[in-house]
């Protein structure tokens, strides 16, 4: 199997702001796997707050040891990967699954025994800006489900402005931007805006803080579900947060790919937790790979391609907030034709 790693720079339609910072481009990496005339693909998203860069991802992928020649030896190939960024390992995982499906001429969801529909609707993300700008973006999106990025400044004003212009289902994502004291005070007030859930209000690495927050919210009569994103990367993290949060956010770029994402989903279910399937800023390649797991999840946040102006792939189809999984074999994502 021949492996090629290439830079993949994504231009964003608008500046994307979260509590970690703002960006106009995302610098990802593309992996191409060639086997007996078949090309399979995987994507690695460089996430700065995980310490990844496009160059570090490319360096890892270009230094991979030879993969086993048996294309169906997924477990053996994945276990043999050297330590490194989860996103880089996810690109290898995706490409192997893509090849598997193409060799068997079946879409991945079918090989996993999953039905392609019905699926939960995906949310559309509104990045941090002034309350007025966020309200305008929410109104113009036309989406019935919105994920609202909130920081430590003007969170309630932003949410109030958005709720004044839309009846959409709203989810709040603080991206670990609040202290325990801020969350204890703020979340009860935010409940008045008819939210579905609050995602990652506190910094990662402290399950006890989430237990304290949950107890405080219960004492205040707050019933908003709390979901952990940055705190839960793989299945090994799930048990630490069981009883502290209501659900987990699963991303291929955190788990290291589809195989570990499946383990994370099943582990969370065993602990009675809900599942949101999400993505980083990725092309249609990475998001389509994740979407094959959508039938297993309660909520979807798979809007990455909708934020990108120069998506080189086509795959998952959007009908507003409704997703349609491709019927092509493998991941079902293919390079767009090059325009002359």
Q: In a 3-state reduction of DSSP, which class is residue 12?
A: strand
Pairing of strands 274-278, 299-301: parallel
Position 85 scores a pLDDT of 95
Position 338 scores a pLDDT of 65
Integer Cα distance of 304 and 26 in angstroms: 11
Whole-model pTM: value is 0.95
Residues of the chain with pLDDT under 70: 19-21, 338-340
Q: In a 3-state reduction of DSSP, which class is residue 6?
A: strand
Position 20 scores a pLDDT of 65
Position 119 scores a pLDDT of 95
Domains of the chain (ranges, CATH numbers): 2-111 (3.30.390.10), 124-334 (3.20.20.120)
Residue 140's nearest CA partner among 294, 267, 13 is 13
Tokens of 90: 């996810």
Contact 19/175 with Cβ under 8 angstroms? yes
Integer Cα distance of 207 and 255 in angstroms: 19
**Each residue of 54-104: pLDDT tens digit?**
999 999 999 999 999 999 999 999 999 999 999 999 999 999 999 999 999
User: 7 - beta bridge partners?
Assistant: 29
């Amino acid at each position: 199997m021949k492996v090629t790693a290439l830079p993949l720079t994504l231009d964003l339609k608008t500046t994307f702001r979260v509590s970690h910072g703002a960006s106009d481009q995302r610098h990802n990496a593309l992996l191409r796997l060639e086997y007996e005339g078949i090309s399979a693909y995987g994507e690695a998203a460089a996430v700065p707050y995980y310490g990844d860069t496009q160059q570090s991802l490319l360096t890892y992928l270009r230094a991979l040891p030879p993969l086993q020649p048996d294309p169906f030896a997924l477990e053996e190939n994945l276990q043999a990967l050297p330590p490194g960024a989860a996103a880089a390992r996810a690109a290898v995982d995706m490409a192997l699954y893509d090849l598997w499906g193409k060799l068997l001429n079946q879409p991945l969801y079918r090989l996993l025994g999953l039905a392609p529909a019905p699926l939960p609707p995906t949310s559309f993300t509104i990045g941090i800006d002034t309350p007025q700008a966020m309200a305008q973006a929410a109104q113009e999106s036309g989406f019935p489900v919105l994920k609202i990025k909130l920081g430590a400044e003007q969170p309630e004003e932003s949410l109030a402005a958005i709720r004044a212009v839309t009846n959409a289902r709203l989810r709040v994502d603080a991206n670990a931007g609040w202290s325990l004291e801020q969350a204890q005070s703020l979340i009860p007030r935010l409940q008045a805006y008819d939210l579905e859930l609050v995602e990652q209000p506190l910094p990662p690495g402290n399950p006890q803080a989430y237990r304290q927050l949950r107890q405080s919210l219960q004492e205040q009569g707050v019933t908003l579900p709390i979901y952990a994103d940055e705190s839960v990367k793989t299945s090994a993290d799930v048990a630490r947060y069981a009883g502290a949060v209501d659900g987990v956010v699963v991303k291929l770029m955190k788990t290291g790919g589809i195989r570990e994402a499946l383990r994370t989903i099943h582990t969370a279910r065993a602990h009675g937790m809900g599942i949101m399937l999400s993505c980083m800023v990725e092309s249609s390649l990475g998001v389509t790979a994740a979407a094959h797991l959508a039938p297993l999840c309660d909520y979807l946040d798979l809007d990455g391609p909708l934020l990108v102006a120069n998506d080189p792939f086509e795959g998952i189809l959007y009908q507003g907030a409704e997703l349609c999984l491709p019927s092509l074999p493998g991941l079902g994502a293919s390079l767009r034709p090059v325009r002359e």
